[in-house]
Structure 1
């Protein structure tokens, strides 16, 4: 291929909403275009629009954002129309189907080393899958001073948290999967060692999240914690409002039970906040232990011997698949280590500031969406379009250098 702009069609939940996959596709598209590549977006489920782009735009590659269950839309459809798909995949614990199709591709992108390891464990060949972390927008997510008018309004008027109160934050589609129950147990262990505090739990409004929330409320009561110290937010936040929420907190905590990447953990670091998380999954790729946050050991794993599969997953009938060996579908963080990390950060403002500054610099240097988009374009040009010397040397590529150091060992 001659040196020219790479033409890319990016398939994701489009028009953009504020969920993780939509933002993942949005930042890839934005980064490619700002880096001088030619790129357009399309809904991954709009068959007619996809065909129009195939015929009229004639992309060199078709990026697809999703997980293995989206292969029919992200891989099969482009291939049927003589396009070159490059899926950028997350994982949900196990890869049940489409192995032969995925193994036929020249390149698969995984959002983290853990995702890559999961696909390889479940039968995807290792030589065509490469790690490509998700980017964030540093013009939206950046560290603001506590006296910033918008931050003060969020903290004082919306959350009603006083200046002398420590704010802990966990956010996600639901906070249970982000490790909120483990953090609640950690707080209960050391509440006598903590200064005045409030714990903000931000969820995406849904029936599932509300049902999980009742479990958190029950746990709070069982542990004898003051329910007034917990603040629940259940509404959709756009990226700007989310950045204000992150800037309002003192500590971001998300020892996730399963995390393919950890977008909000990255955004929290970008906003200058130290993060408490778990030493498995995506957080191992985004957090520098003891420098930008603390990673608790895995206390236990939730393993399954079998699981149900269905027509929606590409099978002819609904049936149960038995695994040759039990497979891990979730993790639990070590409560004592979470509690220890919480006390360290809660009682030492200088440590919070030091780690927060390091976190913001780390996020900007490594996960700026322009950098992550270039990393992806370089991989495509080398492994798919076969341009010579397309991929930057590791020393010149901060994404490649960092993720190589943090390779996940299963």
Structure 2
């Protein structure tokens, strides 16, 4: 009979299998897993990685690699793949969970685990709000590559080329928002803030980069309508499509202000990457952002203007339910926020007109990104926590 007992990494108690969308693409979940796996390996841990849905390959690695922990990345709805499957094969699961606005299922399973990582204090608060009682939920920030994401001078030919391609003049301030879709990152709130500023500071362009297209289309139409209302449609530039981290670094470095007053944000990876690139961040004082951006130091945070409360929500079969159904809540749940437009406009105007402040905040952001969010540090912190909590 083959020996399937876990094998320890030399000098370490942890021998992890990282489960995430592998092979990685350029989305946030893939990069979250890739940086964790790379960081663990670079810190001396023998690490395997696998697609979280690849049951055959997972079982093969359970038998051949013999991990003692499976670190699965996803949200609560991924529990069958990243929690149940390892447990059924005698592997201790340690999920690292992202935000989804609410937690509808798998409470007992989550409560049974010896350790659960989440991406921010806000995500932890959401799980507790929705009935998860596990005392072993710990925030763990997502790591980024601060050697790859770094400041690039505005005089660099790559930055000059990027700004030229985007139609940004040398005398214009470039504001940048990046997301799977720009609307969820606060694009409409930013447009209204720019409308408030009006002619007080007219020299700017606003670039919104989405993942593949301008979906959902009704959001895009609403944004174009807002721009028409204020008469600055020619100042708005949309770009989309995948982008390597190297080119992302140049795009971030081309900006003067990175703006993402997100409506929902479990962490804010690109905001941290902007900090690593030495660009000040404008966001909202809520959710996972409170763990990353330091107000008046690495950026400015607008207060919350309104919250989006829901009294019910759809639940689907892929969430672990027998059928599609509406779940009604005992009391309304906060699913998202909107930044206060007046506060956002004040902070934006301050950053637009004060070059020295932007430089100072950009430098502080770089310092914070390197000290707190480099993937080699975050992965080592997680590994040591797992070893301590699980007595490995």
Normalising to structure 1: TM-score of the pair? 0.92
Residue 229 of structure 1, aligned match among 235, 256, 260:
235
What is the aligned partner in structure 2 of residue 286 from structure 1?
292
Residue 325 of structure 1, aligned match among 289, 307, 331:
331
- Are 1:316 and 2:297 matched, yes or no? no
- The 3 A distance-change label for structure 1 pair 174 and 8 is same
SS in 2 for 1:29: helix
Point out where structure 1 has 5 or more consecutive residues left out of the alignment.
388-410
Q: What is the distance in 2 between the residues matched to 1:211 and 1:363?
A: 35
What is the aligned partner in structure 2 of residue 131 from structure 1?
139
Q: What is the distance in 2 between the residues matched to 1:213 and 1:19?
A: 21
Residue 190 of structure 1, aligned match among 197, 200, 204:
197
SS in 2 for 1:54: helix
What is the aligned partner in structure 1 of residue 20 from structure 2?
12
Residue 248 of structure 2, aligned match among 226, 242, 248:
242
How far does residue 301 in structure 1 lie from its aligned partner after superposition? Answer: 0.6
Q: Structure 2 matches for 1:7-406, cutoff 5 A?
A: 7-156=15-164, 158-206=165-213, 208-222=215-229, 224-384=230-390, 386-387=391-392
Point out where structure 2 has 5 or more consecutive residues left out of the alignment.
1-7
How far does residue 126 in structure 1 lie from its aligned partner after superposition? Answer: 4.5
CA contact (8 A) 2:214 2:220 kept: no
Q: What is the distance in 1 between the residues matched to 2:212 and 2:294?
A: 31
- Between the two proteins, the alignment pairs up a number of residues equal to 384
SS in 2 for 1:162: coil
Q: What is the distance in 2 between the residues matched to 1:191 and 1:315?
A: 50
Q: What is the distance in 2 between the residues matched to 1:144 and 1:5?
A: 40
What is the aligned partner in structure 1 of residue 5 from structure 2?
none
Q: What is the distance in 2 between the residues matched to 1:33 and 1:344?
A: 43
How far does residue 207 in structure 1 lie from its aligned partner after superposition? Answer: 6.1
How far does residue 5 in structure 1 lie from its aligned partner after superposition? Answer: 5.1
Q: What is the distance in 1 between the residues matched to 2:388 and 2:218?
A: 47
CA contact (8 A) 2:181 2:214 kept: no
What is the aligned partner in structure 1 of residue 3 from structure 2?
none
How far does residue 210 in structure 1 lie from its aligned partner after superposition? Answer: 4.3
SS in 1 for 2:131: coil
CA contact (8 A) 1:141 1:267 kept: yes
Q: What is the distance in 1 between the residues matched to 2:269 and 2:292?
A: 9
Q: What is the distance in 1 between the residues matched to 2:118 and 2:329?
A: 23
Q: Which deviates the most, 3-12 or 54-63?
A: 3-12
SS in 2 for 1:376: helix
Name segments (4+ residues, structure 1) moved above 6 Å.
none
CA contact (8 A) 1:307 1:321 kept: yes
Q: What is the distance in 2 between the residues matched to 1:267 and 1:212?
A: 26
SS in 1 for 2:146: coil
Q: What is the distance in 1 between the residues matched to 2:200 and 2:22?
A: 47
Task: Provide Cα deviations, 1:322-381, integer angstroms capped at 9, x if missing partner.
Answer: 111100111000101110011111001001101110011111111000110011101101
CA contact (8 A) 1:5 1:36 kept: no
Q: Which deviates the most, 124-133 or 369-378?
A: 124-133
How far does residue 209 in structure 1 lie from its aligned partner after superposition? Answer: 4.3
Q: What is the distance in 1 between the residues matched to 2:124 and 2:189?
A: 26
